[in-house]
Amino acid sequence: MTLAPVLDRIDADLDASVERLFTLLRVPSISTDPAYAKDCQKAADILVDDLKSIGFDASKRETPGHPMVVAHADGEGQHVMFYGHYDVQPVDPLELWDNDPFDPKLEDAPKGKVIRGRGTSDDKGQLMTFVEACRAWKAVHGSLPAKISIFFEGEEESGSPSLIPFMKENAEELTADIALICDTGLYGDSTPAIITQLRGLLGEEIKITGPNKDLHSGMYGGLAMNPARVLAKIIASLHDETGRITLPDFYDGVPELSNELAASWDDLKFDEKDFLGDVGLSLPAGEQGRRPLEMIWSRPTCEVNGMTSGYTGEGFKTVLPSEASAKISFRLVGRQDPLKIRENFRKMVSDMVPEDCNVTFHDHGASPASQMSTTHPAFDQARKALTDEWPNAATFVGCGGSIPIAGHFKKYLGMDAMLVGFGKDDDQIHSPNEKYDLSSFHKGIRSWARILHKMSSDG
C-alpha cells in the first residue's frame, strides 16, 4: 500500500479532523471528580462509535472506576497496540482561563494556530492523531497497513486504579508485538523525539495535627505547638544546601549518566536560560554539578506540590492552626524502589513530629522508573519515519515525567513500549489555557501514517 495518497487525504481532511477532536474535547471527562463520572462514560462512548465508524471492532469495558475502550482491526504485518487516555485534569482555578475550558477554540498565536481547551495536548489531541491516521489509511486503501489494537483508559489522571487489574484480566487480548504510546512531546518546536526512559513517581500526602482547634495567637502563641511550624521544618529538611535529597538510602539504585548518553544530550544544545526564562525564572535549582537535562531526565527529585494550613482567605486572622498538610511527590529513576522510599519518608517525618502532634499519611500512587530497549525494529522504523516528516532528524531522549503504563506493558504483558508524542513545552498541560498546536495535530497525524507505513511490509 502506498503512502503518498494517505498523506494527501490527511491534508485534505484536516478541518474535519479538527471538528472530530472538538467533539471529544467538549466532554468534561475529569476522572478524579465523581461529579463527572457520566462525562467519562460519554467520552468513552464517543470513541467507541468513532472507531466503529472506521471499521474497528470496538467496545466499552466497564471497570470499578471509569471504563476502558478496546478496539481491534485486522491488517498485514506487525501487531501494534496503541494506548492513550481520554480523561483530563480538573480545570481549577477556573478564573485563570480566558475561555470555557470545554468550549474548544482554534486561535491565532505568535507561532501559528493553536487548539485551545482542556485535554487538547493531554491527551485527547494526541490520541486522536493516531485515530485520524488510521481513518486516512482506511479511506484510501480500505484496510490498515498493520494489525492494530487500541486501548484507551479513563483514569490516567487519577492514578489508574483500574488499569493493572484490567490488564491482568485481559492480558491475552491486550498483548501485541509492541505498544505505541502518544502522551509525550517534541524536543523543542520541531525535533521529533522518541522517549527511551521515564522517571517513576511516588506521591505522598501528610497531615500534621496539633491542638484540637485553631488557637488565638495572642493567647497561645509561644506556648502551644504550631503544626504549620512543624510542617515547615519537615519540608525544609528534605534537601541539603547542595540540592541533594536527604532521605536515608534515597539514592540507592540511581545510575550515573553514561558518557555516551551525556554526549548525545549535550548535542541537543539545551538552553536552560531560555527554558527557565519562558516561565519567569533564571537560575537552576536542582543538584549542584549536574547538567540541566540530566536534572530533568535522569536524576530523582523531591518536590512540594501543595501546602495548606490556617487562615488563607482575604485579610488577616491571627490564629495558630490546628492542622497543616502538604502534598509531596518524588520523581524516581533507575532502580529506585518507590515502596522503600515511602517507608523511609514516613519514618523520617514521624521522627520529626513532636509528642504534642500527630501525623497521618495518605498515598497517591507509587511506580518505578521505566527504561525502554531500542533494539526492537520499531524504534529504528519510527525514527526514520519521523525524520521524513519533520524539519529535524528524530532523536532518542529521556523524559522527566512519569507514564507508568510503559512499565506496565513490559511487566504485565511482556512487550516493549515506544513513546512518540507531538506536544510542546508551552502547551500548559494541567494548567489553565491548555493548548495543542494545530501543526502538532496535523503533523502528528501524518507522522503516525508514516510510522505505520514503515512498520508494514511495504515500508
Which pLDDT tens digit goes with each residue over 223-251?
A: 999 999 999 999 999 999 999 999 999 99
Percent of the chain with pLDDT over 70: 100
Return the C-alpha cell found at 285: 535549582
* Residue 270, C-beta contacts closer than 8 angstroms, at least 6 positions apart: 292, 293
pLDDT for res 260: 84
Please say if the pLDDT value at position 458 is more than 80: no
The pLDDT value given to residue 227 = 98
Cell of 400: 522527566
Q: Which residue has the cell 548518553?
A: 261
Residue 159 has a pLDDT of 87
Tell me what percent of the residues of the chain surpass a pLDDT of 90. 87
Task: With beta carbons less than 8 A apart as the criterion, state whether 57 and 51 touch.
Answer: no
Considering Cα of 176, then 455, then 15, then 419, what sign does the dihedral take?
A: positive
Compute the mean pLDDT over every residue in the chain, rounded to the nearest whole number. Answer: 95
Confidence of residue 367 (pLDDT cuts 50, 70, 90): confident
pLDDT band at 459 (very low <50, low <70, confident <90, very high): low
- Residue 252 cell numbers, joined: 540507592
Sorted by where each starts, the structural domains of the chain and their CATH numbers stand as 4-198+369-455 (3.40.630.10), 201-255+297-367 (3.30.70.360)
DSSP secondary structure letters along 256-276 = PPPHHHHHHHHTT---HHHHH
Using the predicted structure, report yes or no on whether residue 402 has a pLDDT greater than 90: no
Q: Is the pLDDT of residue 264 over 70?
A: yes
The per-residue pLDDT for 399 is: 87
User: Which cell goes with 199?
Assistant: 522517571
Angstrom CA distances, 395 to 45, 56, 405, 423, 447, stand at 36, 32, 22, 15, 14
**Does the structure show a pLDDT above 70 at 132?**
yes
Please provide residue 120's backbone torsions phi and psi, each rounded to the nearest 5 degrees.
-60, -45
**What is the Cα 15 distance to its own chain's centre?**
27
Give pLDDT, residue 278. Answer: 86
**Tens digit of pLDDT for each residue in 177-188?**
999 999 999 998
pLDDT of residue 391: 95
Cα angle vertex 246, ends 330, 337, to 5°? 45
In this predicted structure, what is the pLDDT of residue 267?
87
Query: 51-104, pLDDT tens digit by residue?
Result: 999 999 999 999 999 999 999 999 888 999 999 999 999 999 999 999 999 999
- What is the three-class DSSP state of 364? strand
